[in-house]
């Protein structure tokens, strides 16, 4: 049993996320079904099975990377028996990025296992390595706490001369060596750390790309869970995806209108638009030696957003046919490509993805597809015993640490004020109010103009009382320096930098402390369940022009 508590729960997020959990009828037109409804998965499986035969499954399986022998067997069974995928994915963060990357992958593992008896077929968890993204600043860092609870931002140095190429083409370079050295300094020195660092170093080699290193690391960590990884930059997947991209380029204007209408409908329903639908912006990017950039419709051709180069329609389509590796889908089209290539019944999504999937149902329909079921990933906090003791000692909840530590410390110290002092302050405050009220009533009979000076005197008395109260609190606080320090250390673990732990901290610091079996404990704790009385959402409805 680990000396650590895994506290799981629902995702936090805007109104759309909360209404999604609640099964609000307002969201029914934007999703293909409720993610807790077994019948919705059966409907989805029937639609998918009609599009995929054994040969289609074999083609994409050959381009996938099983994380281990178990995943190989599961993938072979999927092809042989006509099975399905539960997919998820994430950007290629340094050392796998924040904790929620691991939670997404393990949520997909748990959902796949839950769906197998429902569908009567093999269901395999599939992780989409977002190798075609090019935002280096979003993925070049990882957050870890050292033994003193100091937050370190480990960062891969950037080469300012390198163009904004995709992570499939960005090599780590020699700078990774200094980052690895810093990682070794931050992690505890124990029996778990040596094999863990060996895994990290085998993945994060100077000659590896960001995408390759991320995939190697994720496969190494999650090998026991039967996870399959897929890199959309694989040549065969590029070739198979080209018709989808070509169709999107050919119908860019109509598809933009469909997205705009559905997004407007979403906003009118009281929700926000997660992804802005830019006028003329195609859901396809082009990449060459100058980097990756968005195609913009201009006249009968296209403009490249960053370099302002112009390409004719014929030139773009000819290049797509001859060199499909130069093109990739944007965040809205990517799920459409995924569902076209893979027999996907469900996607495990974070809060932002839930929101943008609500915009994309009609884009799926434009490509002749239905959206997969969208299941929220599990949210979790890893609460070490030393942190749990602080939380319990002061009668706090984990969410309390979201506020600035100074405010939380002031609240806890105030709560620790001797009861007799609190009672005396409260009595004095009430006495001032009652006394001045009585005096004002009596004085008003002598001269109504006395009301103003007496009100000012009462206010001054309350100000003086508040100052006295602050001094008392200050003395209590001075005696409670240990309390404040304990709260600061707990906050560094639970809400480092003011953000939830799962969005900042990296999994390596926990594996180094508790060993690789921690991942199995997390997987077991994640709440994935279906319900017989789920909301009856029947599918995406598209607004007409």
Does any domain span residue 280? no
Length of the chain: 545
pLDDT at residue number 306: 92
pLDDT at residue 545, rounded to an integer? 64
Pairwise CA distance, residues 263 & 451, whole Å: 59
pLDDT confidence of residue 216: 98
| Residues contacting residue 177 through CB under 8 Å, at least 6 positions apart | 206
User: Is residue 454 one of the residues assigned to a domain?
Assistant: yes
Check whether 70 has a pLDDT greater than 70: yes
Is the pLDDT confidence value at 8 over 90?
yes
Q: Taking 70 as the threshold, does the pLDDT of residue 479 lie above it?
A: no
Give the number of other Cβ atoms within 10 Å of residue 137's Cβ: 9
For position 381, what pLDDT does the model report? 97
Residue 78 has pLDDT above 90, yes or no: yes
Q: Residue 349 belongs to what domain range?
A: 4-240+329-354+367-384+504-525
| 284 assigned to some structural domain | no
pLDDT reported for residue 201: 98
pLDDT band at 158 (very low <50, low <70, confident <90, very high): confident
Structure tokens at 506: 């990296």
The model's pTM: 0.88
pLDDT at 1: 59
Please tell me whether residues 15 and 68 are part of one structural domain: yes
Instruction: Answer yes or no: do 121 and 177 share one domain.
Output: yes
Q: Are residues 374 and 417 in the same domain?
A: no
Rounded to 5°, angle at Cα 349 from 348 and 351:
155
Residue whose entry in the numeric block shows the structure tokens 């206010």: 459
Q: Residue 472's pLDDT band (boundaries 50, 70, 90)?
A: confident
End-to-end Cα separation, the chain, in angstroms: 59
Q: C-alpha angle 413/486/409, rounded to 5°? A: 30
Residue 490 CB-half CA count within 13 A: 30
Residues 342 and 172: their CA atoms lie apart, in Å, by 30
Beta bridge partners of 375: 348
456 within a domain of the structure (yes/no): yes
The 3-state DSSP class for residue 163 equals: coil
Both tokens assigned to 20: 């999604």
Residue 411 has pLDDT above 70, yes or no: yes
Token digits for 54?
A: 């054994």
Higher pLDDT, 138 or 437: 138
Tell me what pLDDT residue 444 has.
Answer: 77
Tokens of 366: 């434009």
- Is 45 in contact with 121 (CB distance < 8 Å)? yes
Question: Coil, strand or helix: which one is 451?
Answer: helix
In a domain, 296, yes or no: no
Q: How confident is the model at residue 405 (pLDDT cuts 50, 70, 90)?
A: confident
Neighbour count for residue 372 (Cβ, 10 Å): 30
Q: Would you say residue 38 has pLDDT above 70?
A: yes
Closest by Cα among 348, 313, 329, 298 to 89: 348
Which tens digits make up the pLDDT trace of 93-152?
Answer: 999 999 999 999 999 999 999 999 999 999 999 999 999 999 999 999 999 999 999 999
pLDDT of res. 416: 64
Q: State the pLDDT confidence band at 441, using cuts at 50, 70 and 90.
A: confident
Copy the structure tokens of residue 251. 């119908």
- My answer on whether 338 and 472 are in the same domain is no
140 and 117 co-located in one domain:
yes
448 shares a domain with 343: no
Tokens standing for residue 328 = 């990739």
Tokens of 410: 């002031």
Q: How far is CA 64 from CA 56, 222, 393, in A?
A: 13, 15, 49
Q: How far is CA 510 from CA 42, 145, 146, 192, 393, in A?
A: 38, 10, 11, 10, 23
- Give the confidence band of 372 by pLDDT, cuts at 50, 70, 90: very high
334 and 446 housed in the same domain? no
Q: What CA–CA distance (Å, rounded) separates 365 from 344?
A: 15
How many domains does the structure of the chain reveal? 2
- 94 and 44 inside one domain: yes
Nearest C-alpha neighbor of 314 from the set 256, 367, 249, 254: 249
């Amino acid at each position: 049993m680990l000396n650590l508590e895994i506290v799981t729960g629902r995702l936090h997020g805007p109104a759309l996320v909360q209404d999604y959990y609640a099964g609000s009828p307002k969201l029914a037109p934007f999703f293909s079904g409720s993610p807790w409804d077994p019948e919705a998965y059966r409907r989805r499986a029937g639609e998918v099975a009609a599009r995929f035969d054994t040969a289609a499954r074999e083609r994409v399986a050959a381009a996938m990377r099983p994380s281990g022998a178990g995943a190989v067997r599961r993938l072979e069974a999927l092809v042989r028996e006509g099975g399905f995928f539960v997919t998820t994915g994430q950007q290629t963060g340094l050392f796998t990025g924040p904790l929620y990357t691991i939670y997404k992958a393990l949520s997909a593992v748990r959902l796949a296992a839950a769906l197998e008896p429902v569908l009567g077929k093999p269901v395999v968890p599939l992780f989409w390595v977002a190798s075609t993204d090019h935002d280096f600043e979003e993925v070049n860092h990882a957050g870890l706490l050292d033994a003193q609870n100091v937050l370190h931002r480990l960062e891969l140095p950037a080469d300012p001369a390198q163009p904004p190429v995709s992570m499939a083409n960005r090599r780590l370079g020699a700078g990774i060596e200094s980052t690895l050295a810093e990682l070794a300094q931050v992690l505890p020195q124990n029996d778990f750390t040596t094999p863990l660092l060996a895994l990290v170093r085998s993945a994060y080699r100077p000659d590896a790309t960001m995408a390759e290193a991320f995939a190697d690391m994720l496969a190494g960590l999650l090998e026991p869970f039967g996870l399959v990884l897929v890199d959309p930059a694989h040549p065969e997947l590029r070739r198979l995806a080209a018709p989808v991209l070509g169709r999107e380029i050919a119908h860019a204007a109509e598809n933009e209108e469909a997205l705009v209408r559905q997004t407007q409908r979403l906003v009118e329903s009281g929700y926000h638009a997660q992804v802005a639908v830019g006028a003329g912006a195609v859901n396809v990017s082009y990449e060459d030696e100058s980097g990756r950039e968005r195609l913009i419709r201009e006249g009968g051709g296209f403009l490249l957003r960053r370099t302002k180069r112009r390409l004719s329609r014929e030139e773009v389509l000819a290049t797509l046919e001859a060199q499909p590796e130069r093109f990739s889908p944007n965040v809205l089209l990517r799920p459409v490509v995924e569902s076209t290539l893979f027999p996907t019944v469900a996607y495990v999504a974070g809060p932002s993805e839930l929101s943008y999937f609500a915009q994309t149902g009609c884009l799926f329909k434009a490509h002749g597809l239905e959206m997969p079921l969208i299941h929220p990933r599990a949210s979790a906090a890893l609460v070490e015993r030393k942190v749990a003791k602080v939380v319990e000692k002061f009668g706090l909840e984990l969410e309390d640490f979201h506020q600035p530590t100074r405010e939380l410390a002031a609240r806890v110290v105030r709560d620790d004020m001797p009861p007799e002092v609190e009672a005396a302050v409260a009595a004095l405050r009430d006495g001032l109010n009652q006394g001045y009220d009585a005096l004002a009533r009596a004085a008003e009979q002598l001269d109504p103009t006395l009301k103003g000076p007496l009100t000012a005197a009462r206010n001054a008395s309350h100000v003086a009382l508040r100052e006295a109260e602050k001094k008392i609190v200050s003395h209590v606080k001075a005696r409670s320096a240990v309390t404040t320090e304990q709260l600061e250390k707990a906050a560094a673990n639970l809400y480092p930098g003011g953000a939830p732990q799962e969005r900042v901290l990296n999994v390596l610091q926990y594996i180094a402390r508790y060993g690789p079996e921690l991942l199995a404990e997390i997987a077991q704790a994640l709440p994935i369940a279906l319900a017989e009385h789920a909301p009856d959402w029947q599918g995406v409805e598209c607004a007409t022009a």
